[in-house]
Amino acid sequence: MTDFQLWAPAANSVRLQAGDSTVPMHSTTGGWWEASADVAPGTDYGYLLDDSSQLLPDPCSRWQPHGVHEASRLYDDDAFAWTDHAWPGRELPGAVIYEMHIGTFSAGGTFEDALPHLDHLVDLGITHVEVLPVNAVNGIWNWGYDGVGWFAVHEPLGGPDGFKRFVDVCHERGLAVLLDVVYNHLGPSGNYLRRFGPYETTGRSTWGELINLEEDVVRRFIIDNALMWLRDYHVDGLRLDAVHALVDRRTPHLLAELSAEVEELAVQVGRSLPLIAESDLNDPIMIEPRAAGGHGMDAQWNDDVHHALHALLTGERQGYYCDFGSLAVLAKVCTAAFLHDGTYSSFRGAVHGRPVDREHTPGFRFVVCLQNHDQVGNRAAGDRLPELTSPGRLRIGAVLLLSLPFTPMLWMGEEWAASTRWPYFTSHPEPELAEIASSKRIEEFAQHGWDTDTMIDPQDPAAFTTAKLNWDERDDPEHADVLALYRRLVAFRAAEPDLRDADLTAVAVDYDEDREWLVLHRGSLRVVANLADTAQTIPVAEVSTTTSEICLATGEAAVASGGVELAAETAAIIRL
């Protein structure tokens, strides 16, 4: 017999339909319903509420083979034959993360199709792959943030067994797996949770109704989901999407409750299980200890570092880039993590953020990037950095990213300067949702000053198919040269303790805004960048023509007396 439990306080009666049988469920306390049925794994099932004849999928369904609107299927977690029993995990300090979207990472767009490319990541020196959301969404392809089946793996990607095999093979290759999860909103189609109970509440976030964090069962629903990925799928950590949209008035905060339970699970499984928060609040409360009133996250995304690098390299100043772009701004984020840490944000029209305790907060707790799915995909055309800056500045960006005291993250294809754009794409079957998706994007792009004429319709299949990486590009000389640089940089970072040193108080930056040069102090190393369009000698007092050496350079470079000679738009790493 299989036992079924369902939280449905909104229903007066509930029937379980499993296989060919329909069984009435019995009401218990707190809005819970129970029933048992003689069914085996692989059986389709669902729930009938009150007098409705519409079969609803299980809110905790582990398998939705027919899509989010159809019956659930019983899934046996114990049936998968794991081979990673000796997997020790990987710590976040010293990590290099690689963000990927399974559907566009390979031509086939499934977990299985991604496996042949894992050796490329190993050769590159990647330690952690971060996978965009894989939970069940309506339609065939999607970014993943429209999920409505939080406990199920999207069937077109390969379903639950496909994801387990992906994680298992990653561990075999020495790669840890981080999973992007979304708890701040539900997708627009296939959300039946409100039919069962108060999963949502009055008020709206950027993406729709607020998740009801006042309700104990909903909080448990979220925490159990997180634990499921870490325990049953052997995932090594979670990236929590847009936690600033979690409206929680209770103490402790949901994130603190989650971090406490994940910490206990990490002890049980004997390996690190980091939680990484995406937050636009610029508030170190995310990573401060629970004992000190923080949420106990292991790390958080830091958009200020991305904005500082992007605006400097491209010259863009529209939208949220308006306060960024100077060398002074880059110098501040290199040493203080946030630009806005209690300072005025022109884009927000208000004072924003709170300072980081540099003495007690290691830099590895901030995940930083040159590109990611948001910063590329939320552009009108989905254009990547190589289209927006020169080859020389692109290489300078790579050197700086992998020399900072933070945890670097690459966006798939970045390592060979992929030419494939990555726009927003959806495959909503409902015409009205397709129209909303397009009109909403146009409104967002107009706010950021982007030309909406370049936007591809998210519902156009080409938005998805043209976003797939072209792996053959790696053999083209211009792409191969960038790939070689990234390989050297990642390897050099791994070999040099000074580059991995996360002590923010040990970082210093010299710069000349007018002459467009910067020197980053990293222990015995100096990272020197000439962003000007002419060659120049950059003053570095500590270098010596007899004892200093150039460890890596993106163009012509030479040690001079009291300085470093660099060609236009060139960066170099010098050992004193």
CA dihedral 427, 452, 278, 505 (to 10 degrees): 150
From the candidates 278, 298, 341, 569, give the one annotated as an active-site residue.
278
Other beta carbons within 10 Å of 430: 12
Q: Does 155 participate in catalysis according to the annotation?
A: no
Q: What is the largest CA-CA distance in the chain?
A: 87
For 228-275, what is the HEC assignment? HHHHHCCCCEEEECCHHHCCCCCCCCHHHHHHHHHHHHHHHHCCCCCE
CA-closest candidate to residue 93, choices 366, 334, 315, 440: 366
The total number of residues shown for the chain amounts to 576
CA-closest candidate to residue 95, choices 503, 490, 551, 496: 490
Q: Does 241 participate in catalysis according to the annotation?
A: yes
How much is the CA Rg of the chain, to the nearest whole Å?
25
d(CA 107, CA 468): 6
Q: What angle do CA 121, 482, 554 make, to 5 degrees?
A: 125
From the candidates 241, 323, 414, 569, give the one annotated as an active-site residue.
241
Tokens of 290: 């629970």
Annotate 83-145 with DSSP letters as a single string.
--TT-----STT--EEEE-HHHHSSS-SHHHHGGGHHHHHHHT--EEEEPP-EE-SSS---ST
Q: Could you report how far apart the first and last alpha carbons of the chain are, in Å?
A: 71
Tokens of 311: 């605006």
104 CA to centre of own chain? 15
Strands 97-100 and 407-411: parallel
d(CA 510, CA 518): 6
Strands 557-560 and 563-566: antiparallel
Task: Name every residue whose Cβ is closer than 8 Å to that of residue 442 and which is 6 or more positions away in sequence.
Answer: 452, 455
Q: Which residues belong to the annotated binding site for substrate?
A: 239-244, 303-307, 373-378
Catalytic residues: 241, 278
